[in-house]
Chain A
Amino acid sequence: MTRLVCLFVSVVVLAGSARADDTFVAKTQVYVDSDHTTVVSPLVALSRDAWRGGTLQASYVADIVSSASIDVVSNATKSMADFRSEVNVGLQQKIAASTLAGHYIYSVEHDYSSHNFDIGLQQDFFKRNSTLAIGYNYAHNDVGRANDQLFHRTLDVHGLGISWTQTLSAKTLGQLSYTLGINEGYQASPYRFVRIVGGAADVKVPETEPNERLRHAIVAGIQRHLFKDSALHADYRFYIDSWGVSAHTIQLAYFIQFGDVTLRLRERFYYQAKANFFQTQYVNTDDQTYVSSDRELSTFWSNLVGVKVSWRLPWLQRAVALEVKADVFYYGYIDYALLPWRVGANLSAGVSVLY
């Protein structure tokens, strides 16, 4: 599989270009938070118009992780470090008002590997005033545990998505989308243990979560052009799943263009209600089929604000653009005893080239 991926990437790099819409993107994102976690994520991507209507794409992204979070230290480990690599190759073909696309993503780290496949179809209607997009993705994940050769679990994920984009006026677009996710297999963490109190002595048991998870997400969004060179984007997502987690997400982004410079301001608010089997503290009773100490399954809210500046350089026929981004965020955990809150920042810098 690795050889096939390398072959595809080579084809993308060496393919003759059919048009001048080839792009190269390189950016690095740095995540840091008050829970002693740092993640550096470099990304490079290449896109080539290789034949009429056909585009080849290849990208590589890595996660370089260093963490001494409460998750890590509460399980008797001082700190952890990890390195994840991900390769994404894809093909897109335009045929009249239709666009077909397919991707393969391979992701690997020392205790986890993942194969992802997705296909999609996009169809324009009513003289490009409406667009229907449908897609399917499948992922097979192999889960291991460090220093434990005998530990092996699998997780299969199926996803279906459908969206409708509608031109509402000469200055307004609207979208409605729905995605269904079906997770089957191991979804807990092999490194997390849950404290059970109330018996003769407190005990710690491995985290145990249901093998199946059905996930629904619906998003409504709108983009509106304002004034001379500004635009407002707004969307709302409602999420609910079979584990009892429900969530609301509101996102706002405001773009202002000053010639070759684009400024983006954004705000994101998120609120989540806990999974029905999640408890702040588990007491020794008989009906405890599922136990988890995953704060991502607890009740919490978060808020993110950010700014991004992009500058298309006036030299070289404006083919090169630079960008920098800074987001700051706050997470407030309502029923997670080990960590009441967390703050952090997400910083990014990058360059894109059209050639």
Chain B
Amino acid sequence: MKIVLLVVAATLAGCVVVKPYERGFLAKPIMAVEPDPFETVLDQHMIQAREGAAGGYGSGGGGCGCN
């Protein structure tokens, strides 16, 4: 919990207000938080069927497909 609060505080302390005309770099496709949602679906489904952990990332779709 202390580590989480430290990360949150550091994140918020580093916050700046970037004006719309300064967002050129942030608008590039390579800066998207999730550049390929469909790849995430396929990847997470494959990973969640083979690991004990789950969550935190995009959805792995539905069902079992436990392969």
Contact = CB atoms under 8 A, between A and B. Distances in A.
Interface of A: 25, 27, 29, 31, 37, 39, 41, 43, 45, 59, 61, 63, 65, 67, 82, 84, 86, 88, 105-109, 112-116, 118, 126-130, 137, 139, 141, 143, 159, 161, 165-171, 173-181, 189, 215-221, 223, 225, 229-231, 237, 239, 241, 245, 247, 249, 255, 257, 262, 264, 270, 272, 275, 296-297, 302, 325, 331, 346, 348, 350
12 contacts: A29-B42, A61-B61, A65-B67, A106-B62, A109-B63, A116-B62, A159-B55, A167-B17, A171-B25, A174-B11, A264-B35, A296-B50
B17 A129 contact: yes
B20 A262 contact: no
Interface of B: 4, 7-8, 11-12, 14-20, 22-26, 28-31, 33, 35, 38-39, 41-43, 45-46, 49-57, 59, 61-67
A296 B42 contact: no
A255 B63 contact: no
B16 A168 contact: yes
B26 A176 contact: no
B63 A112 contact: yes
B54 A239 contact: yes
B14 A181 contact: no
Contact of B7 (A107, A129, A220): A220
Contact of A141 (B29, B52, B64): B64
A175 B54 contact: no
A350 B37 CA distance: 13
Nearest to A115: B62
Nearest to B46: A31
A167 B16 contact: yes
Given A113-B63, A223-B33, A325-B39, A129 B15 contact: yes
Contact of A166 (B15, B25, B54, B57): B15
B28 to A, nearest CB: 7
A86 B38 contact: no
B21 to A, nearest CB: 10
A225 B64 contact: no
A84 B35 CA distance: 26
